[in-house]
């Protein structure tokens, strides 16, 4: 079965916590986590709702394999209507709290309404209650985690919470769990804070035992783990170098957006790469990287744990930052580094610590700082607006300072917290915002990796790499190599990746397994755990259904095909260097074909046949 | 030949596969809360450490048990808890210097590692070989080998 078949519905307005059965009819159609929670959201909220109003809902959802021995089976997602984009928001996180929810006997928590005063949810198996959080409000994620552990005297308890950035209205605030794992994108943390919900603390001791065929499940998961161990990326590359293994690779292929995407290569890339993280520092003889770390149940262990040099200017006389903590992943290193032109590894690590400590998305933040630096350079922003901070490209000092300000919503940090779209509009240069549907795109330049242009343009949560990671095919040759510089065939590639990804995100497994696994490896694991048909075809169908459901919600929220576009810079300004020199992104060649393959109208709307085929 | 669990914290990534394997083997359920092996995280230092019963030869828990519920398994050398005899008095949990025998409120008995009868599930599940099941007399040999490598810095052939 996989599911606990139980949902906890928390009404923050009246303070009630009620158990209700999981809708198994929907589970058969949407599996769990991303898909199933989106179905609940779509059924329960008005698509036009103000994301920060009490009428929006926020769902924390596990998948059927969360909390099991399947490798990486520890994922959970936070689903809501996002304030950064106004689109459906679904942010996925690892760490340990997803498995703890399952161990406590819950598939999902649905939060509705708004508490009159700050509260947190405390769950101990069947027992769930809202408790006052007045003493936690105004505290960082790290302080909140510590205070809750002290209060409940339970070191095994797991905490998801928001920091000061969310409280201050930063539109890309994250929900952080286990100190440094993040449901990071689209401002899901902002919605949580707007509900006066500071934290969710969970302890589960019931276990996950409702597996359909335990013997088949152990066999299927063991086979899956063997594939991960023997694959070069998941068995060696990711545990050794983390996702940062990409920094030099993507720079080489000329697809590393740099200095607000004016360039496609960054001369400082090697200084902020995985290789640099492992190199002993000249200053103290120790490497930035302390160790790798796994999320719950993960046999890959790509997580980075880093330590900053105590003498580094960012942490000098600040012993609270001298310990080891969540280090740079590729997207964060790119955003905080290449997008801003900063090549000081420890400064990026510090900014990353700050993003974790107060819960905000380093991708959106770094990209917004990059945009602000360009505005500053052309004189659209001056020292008057930036609180006197010389916001020059490449300035590690400026980056550290604005990270601190954004974390607390102070001064110019308040403006940076609204994201690059609002910032660039306010200062008269909307074309300098590197966003789609209001969300900053991540670390792959669509001029050098053409498929990523279509990926960003059509992503249901605003620009994102985790909706169809065609980099795998176009650069790494997984599952097969395609030419990154051509648009031919990319519409089909993007659709296939989008559907498969939506299925993986609905299962409780981590997307990173798909460097080695296809649905052929995943379907048997889901099938052994869950009642019903979970063939490869069914999984792909679920993925397609989830994708269309999200799309339909966005259309109802007011988006149209016109929003499936890219910043002009990617469509008009050719790449200046590298293999993609002279190229722009050929979105107009890919988009009509993509709509057709999706079974959508030429305006990008679902046709009646598509609706019927997918049961929408 | 008796074998023992060899724990190498420096290889542990904190994934908890061992805890799930242990609870599944012993309780038929994935439940870290019911695992006889535990992984501890020392977050500020970036360290993880698996820990479980080392099967002391003269086990404190066994000596302390007033009803002789803890017995030596002659095949594995493990100190096994006889659940039908255990009265749940918890004296063994006080006696054990390492904290590796614990009470289970579900059953009213104590639980501890029994080496899965000679085929420990944790060792099989560990993806990084931080937990292995080796000759009980040779748990230190890998470390000896590493140090030995440092002493043998001159090849005999050169003399």
Cβ–Cβ below 8 Å for A208 and B30: yes
- Domain end, chosen from A373, A400, A433, is at A433
Taking the CA of residue A410 and the nearest CA in chain B, the distance in Å comes to 28
- Chains A, B: CB pairs < 8 Å: 83
Q: Is A293 on the interface with B (CB under 8 A)?
A: yes
What is the interface pTM, i.e. ipTM, of the complex?
0.95
By CB neighbour count within 10 A (0-12 exposed, 13-18 middle, 19+ buried), where does A488 fall? middle
Residue A42 has a pLDDT of 98
Contact B30 A69 (CB under 8 A): yes
Residues A11 and A79 both lie in one domain: yes
Residue A418 has pLDDT above 70, yes or no: yes
pLDDT in tens, A475-504: 999 999 999 999 999 999 999 999 999 999
Q: Residues with Cβ < 8 Å from A552, sequence gap 6 or more?
A: A42, A606, A616
The answer to whether residues A61 and A37 touch, using CB atoms and an 8 Å cutoff, is yes
User: Mean pLDDT, chain A, as a whole number?
Assistant: 98
Task: Suggest the residue from B31, B46, B124 to mutate for an interface test with chain A (most A CBs closer than 10 A).
Answer: B46
Task: Identify whether residues A17 and A45 lie together within a single domain.
Answer: yes
Q: Does A283 touch chain B (CB under 8 A)?
A: no
How far, in Å, are A305, A500, B26 from residue A525 at the CA level? 30, 15, 22
8 Å CB contact between A34 and A90: yes
At A295, is the secondary structure helix, strand, or coil? coil
Give the domains, in start order, of chain B with CATH numbers. Answer: 1-52+113-159 (3.30.70.20), 55-111 (3.30.70.20)
Contact A272, A399 (CB under 8 A): no
> What CA–CA distance (Å, rounded) separates B101 from B56?
12
A58 Cα distance to chain centroid: 16
Indicate the pLDDT class of residue B150, thresholds 50, 70 and 90.
confident
Cα A366 from chain centroid (whole Å) = 14
Residue A290 in contact with partner chain B when CB distance is under 8 A: yes
The backbone region for A258, taken as left when phi is positive above 0, alpha when psi lies in -120 to 50, beta otherwise, is beta
- Convert A419-444 to b/e letters by CB count within 10 Å (16 or more is b): bbbbbbeebebbebbbbbbbbbbbbb
Q: How far apart are CA B141 and CA A573, in angstroms?
A: 62
Cβ-nearest to A69 among B13, B17, B33: B17
pLDDT at residue A1 greater than cutoff 90: no
Q: Does residue A141 belong to any structural domain of this protein?
A: yes
Same domain, A495 and A590: yes
**Residues A390 and A456 placed together within one structural domain of the fold:** no
Distance CA A154, CA A134 (A): 21
* A204, closest residue in chain B (CA to CA): B33
The answer to whether A204 and A66 are in contact (CB under 8 A) is no
Residue B159 has pLDDT above 60, yes or no: no
A347 phi/psi in degrees, rounded to 5: -65, -40
Tell me which DSSP letter residue A272 carries.
G
Q: Which domain holds residue A25?
A: 6-203
In a domain, A440, yes or no: no
pLDDT digits 0-9 by tens, A327-354: 999 999 999 999 999 999 999 999 999 9
- Is-cis flag, bond preceding A479, omega within 30? yes
> Does A224 reside within a domain?
no
What is the token pair recorded at A176?
């952080």
| C-alpha closest to that of A296 among A543, A70, A558, A523 | A70
Residue A452 falls inside a structural domain: yes
Classify residue B73 as left (phi > 0), alpha (psi -120 to 50) or beta.
beta
What pLDDT does A199 receive? 98
Please check whether residues A471 and A395 belong to one and the same domain.
no
What's the CATH code of the domain at A306?
A: 1.10.569.10
- Select from B21, B28, B127 the Cβ nearest to the Cβ of A229: B127
Mean pLDDT, residues B72-98 taken together = 97
Contact criterion met (CB < 8 Å) for B30 and A205:
no
Beta strands A127-132 and B109-111: pairing type? Answer: unpaired
Give the mean model confidence (pLDDT) for residues A518-528.
98
pLDDT over threshold 70, residue A177: yes
Distance from CA of A158 to the nearest CA of B (A): 13
Last residue of a domain, one of A188, A203, A218: A203
Residue B158 scores a pLDDT above 70: no
Question: Is residue A31 located within the same domain as residue A69?
Answer: yes
pLDDT tens string B94-117: 999 999 999 999 999 999 999 999
| Cα Rg of chain B (Å, integer) | 18
Which of A122, A105, A108 is CA-nearest to residue A207? A105
**CA–CA gap between residue B96 and residue B90 (Å, rounded):** 10
Task: Please tell me what DSSP assigns to residue A243.
Answer: G
- In the block, tokens 């899965």 appear at B116
Tell me what the mean pLDDT of segment A395-424 comes to. 98
Q: How far is CA A501 from CA A30, A170, A508, A587, in A?
A: 13, 28, 12, 21
Q: Taking Cα atoms as reference points, which of A152, A154, A158 lies closest to residue A180?
A: A158
pLDDT for the residue A81: 98
* A178, A320: one domain: no
Q: Which two tokens stand for residue A457?
A: 């343009």
Distance of CA A407 to the CA centre of its chain: 18
| CATH number of the domain to which A502 belongs | 1.10.599.10
Please, are residues A451 and A594 in contact by the beta-carbon 8 Å criterion?
no
In this prediction, residue A426 carries a pLDDT of: 98
How far is Cα B17 from Cα B130, in angstroms, rounded to an integer?
11
- From A384's Cα to the closest Cα of chain B, the distance in A is 39
A167 occurs within a structural domain: yes
**∠ Cα B106 B108 B112 (to 5°):** 85
φ, ψ for residue B131, nearest 5 deg: -125, 120
Q: What is the mean pLDDT of residues A264-272?
A: 98
End of a domain among A203, A231, A250?
A203
How far apart CA B59 and CA A63 sit, in angstroms, is: 43
Q: Which two tokens stand for residue A181?
A: 């794992």
A463, A456 contact by CB (below 8 A)? yes
Query: Rounded to 5 degrees, what are φ and ψ at A387?
Result: 60, 30
Best mutation target among B8, B10, B14 (most A Cβ atoms within 10 Å) is: B14
- As given in the structure block, the two tokens for residue B158 are 């050169």
Name which of A426, A512, A520 is nearest A72 in CA terms: A512
Taking the CA of residue A471 and the nearest CA in chain B, the distance in Å comes to 27
Q: What pLDDT digit, counting tens, does each position of A49-83 carry?
A: 999 999 999 999 999 999 999 999 999 999 999 99
Domain assignment present for residue A353? The answer is yes
pLDDT given at position B149? 86
Q: Judge whether A442 and A331 are in contact, CB under 8 Å.
A: yes
Residue A248 lies inside a defined structural domain of this protein? no
Note whether residue A216 is domain-resident. Answer: no
Q: How far is CA A253 from the centre of its chain?
A: 24
Q: What are the beta bridge partners of residue B41?
A: B48
Tell me what percent of chain B is helix, strand and coil, each rounded to the nearest 5: 35, 20, 45
Please compute the mean of the pLDDT values over residues A97-108 and round it to a whole number.
Answer: 98
According to the model, what pLDDT value does residue B155 have?
A: 65
What is the DSSP code (8-state) at residue A236?
I
Region of residue A158 (left: phi > 0; alpha: psi -120 to 50; beta: else): beta
Confidence of residue B151 (pLDDT cuts 50, 70, 90): confident
Domain shared by A577 and A602, yes or no: yes
Give residue-wise pLDDT tens across range A239-267: 999 999 999 999 999 999 999 999 999 99
Regarding whether A422 and A475 lie in a shared domain, the answer is no
Q: In the sheet that A58-62 helps form, which strands lie side by side, from edge to edge?
A: A16-21, A6-11, A108-112, A58-62, A76-81, A88-93
pLDDT band, residue A7 (cuts 50/70/90): very high
Burial class (CB in 10 A: 0-12, 13-18, 19+), B150: exposed
What φ, ψ does residue A204 adopt, rounded to 5°?
-130, 130
A477 touches chain B (CB under 8 A): no
Whether A51 and A140 map to the same domain: the answer is yes
- Mean pLDDT for A450-473 is 98
* pLDDT for the residue numbered B157: 65
By C-alpha distance, which of A492, A602, A495 is closest to A547? A495
Question: Are B15 and A301 a contacting pair at CB < 8 A?
Answer: yes
A297 inside 8 A of chain B by CB: yes
Give the pLDDT score at B1. 86
* C-alpha span between B122 and A262 (Å, rounded): 51
Q: Looking at residue A61, which CATH number applies to its domain?
A: 3.60.9.10
Q: Are residues A23 and A101 in the same domain?
A: yes
Percent of chain A predicted with pLDDT > 70: 100
How many domains does chain A divide into?
3
- The neighbouring-strand residues paired with A606 are A600
Whether residues A459 and A383 fall in one domain? no
């Amino acid at each position: 079965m996989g599911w606990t078949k139980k949902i906890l519905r928390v009404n923050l307005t009246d303070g009630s916590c009620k158990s209700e059965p999981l809708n198994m009819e929907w589970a058969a159609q949407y599996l769990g986590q991303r898909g199933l929670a989106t179905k609940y959201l779509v059924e329960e909220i008005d698509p036009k709702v103000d994301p920060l109003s009490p009428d929006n809902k926020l769902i924390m959802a596990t998948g059927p394999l969360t909390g099991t021995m399947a490798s990486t089976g520890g994922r959970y997602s936070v689903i809501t209507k996002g304030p950064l984009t106004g689109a459906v928001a679904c942010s996925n996180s690892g760490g340990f709290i997803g498995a703890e929810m399952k161990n406590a006997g819950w598939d999902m928590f649905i939060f509705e309404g708004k508490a009159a005063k700050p509260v947190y949810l405390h769950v101990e198996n069947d027992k769930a209650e809202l408790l006052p959080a007045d003493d936690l409000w105004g505290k960082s994620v790290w302080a909140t985690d510590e205070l809750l552990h002290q209060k409940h005297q339970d070191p095994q308890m797991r905490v998801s919470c928001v920091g000061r950035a969310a409280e201050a209205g930063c539109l890309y605030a994250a929900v952080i769990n286990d100190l440094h794992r993040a449901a990071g994108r689209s401002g899901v943390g902002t919605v949580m804070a707007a509900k006066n919900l500071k934290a969710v603390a969970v302890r589960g001791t019931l276990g996950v035992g409702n597996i359909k065929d335990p013997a088949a499940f152990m066999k299927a998961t063991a086979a899956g783990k063997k594939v991960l161990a023997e694959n070069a990326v998941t068995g060696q590359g990711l545990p050794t170098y983390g996702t940062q293994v990409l920094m030099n690779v993507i720079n080489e292929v000329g697809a590393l957006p740099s200095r607000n995407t004016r360039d496609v290569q960054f001369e400082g890339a090697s200084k902020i790469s995985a290789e640099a993280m492992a190199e002993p520092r000249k200053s103290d003889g120790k490497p930035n990287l302390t160790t790798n770390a796994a999320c719950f149940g993960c046999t890959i262990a790509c997580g980075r744990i880093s330590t900053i040099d105590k003498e580094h200017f960012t942490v000098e006389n600040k012993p609270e930052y001298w310990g080891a903590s969540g280090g740079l992943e590729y997207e964060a290193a790119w955003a905080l580094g290449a997008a801003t032109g900063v090549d000081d590894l420890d400064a990026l690590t510090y900014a990353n610590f700050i993003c974790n400590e107060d819960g905000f998305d380093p991708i959106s933040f770094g990209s917004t700082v990059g945009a602000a630096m360009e505005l500053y350079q052309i004189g659209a922003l001056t020292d008057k607006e930036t609180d006197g901070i010389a916001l020059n490209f490449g300035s590690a000092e400026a980056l550290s300072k604005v990270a601190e300000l954004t974390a607390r919503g102070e001064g110019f940090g308040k403006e940076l917290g609204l994201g690059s779209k609002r910032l660039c509009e306010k200062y008269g240069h909307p074309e300098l915002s590197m966003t789609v549907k209001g969300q900053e795109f991540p670390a792959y330049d669509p001029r050098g990796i053409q498929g990523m242009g279509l990926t960003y343009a059509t992503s249901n949560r605003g620009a994102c790499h985790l909706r169809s990671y065609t980099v795998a095919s176009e650069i790494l040759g997984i599952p097969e190599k395609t030419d990154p510089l051509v648009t031919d065939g990319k519409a089909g590639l993007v659709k296939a990746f989008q559907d498969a990804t939506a299925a993986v995100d609905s299962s409780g497994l981590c997307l990173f397994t798909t460097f080695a696994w296809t649905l052929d490896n995943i379907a048997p694991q889901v099938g052994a755990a869950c009642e019903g048909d979970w063939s490869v075809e069914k999984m792909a169908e679920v993925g397609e259904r989830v994708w269309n459901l999200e799309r339909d919600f966005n259309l109802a929220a007011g988006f149209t095909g016109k929003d499936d576009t890219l910043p002009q810079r990617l469509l008009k300004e050719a790449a200046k260097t590298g293999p993609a020199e002279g190229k722009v992104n050929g979105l107009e060649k890919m988009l009509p074909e993509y709509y057709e393959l999706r079974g959508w109208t030429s305006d990008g709307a679902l046709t009646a046949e598509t609706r019927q085929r997918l049961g929408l | 030949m008796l074998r023992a669990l060899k724990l190498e914290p420096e290889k542990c990534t904190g994934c908890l596969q061992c805890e799930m394997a242990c609870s599944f083997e012993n309780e038929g359920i994935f439940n870290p809360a019911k695992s006889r092996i535990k992984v501890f995280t020392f977050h500020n230092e970036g360290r993880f450490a698996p820990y479980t019963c080392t099967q002391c030869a003269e086990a404190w828990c066994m000596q302390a048990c007033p009803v002789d519920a803890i017995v030596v398994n002659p095949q594995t050398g493990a100190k096994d808890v006889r659940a039908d005899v255990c009265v749940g008095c918890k004296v063994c949990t006080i006696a054990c210097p390492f904290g590796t025998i614990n009470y289970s409120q579900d059953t009213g008995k104590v639980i501890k590692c029994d080496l899965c009868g000679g085929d420990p599930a944790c060792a099989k599940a560990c993806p990084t070989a931080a937990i292995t099941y080796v000759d009980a007399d040779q748990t230190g040999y890998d470390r000896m080998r590493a140090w030995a490598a440092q002493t043998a810095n001159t090849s005999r052939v050169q003399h």
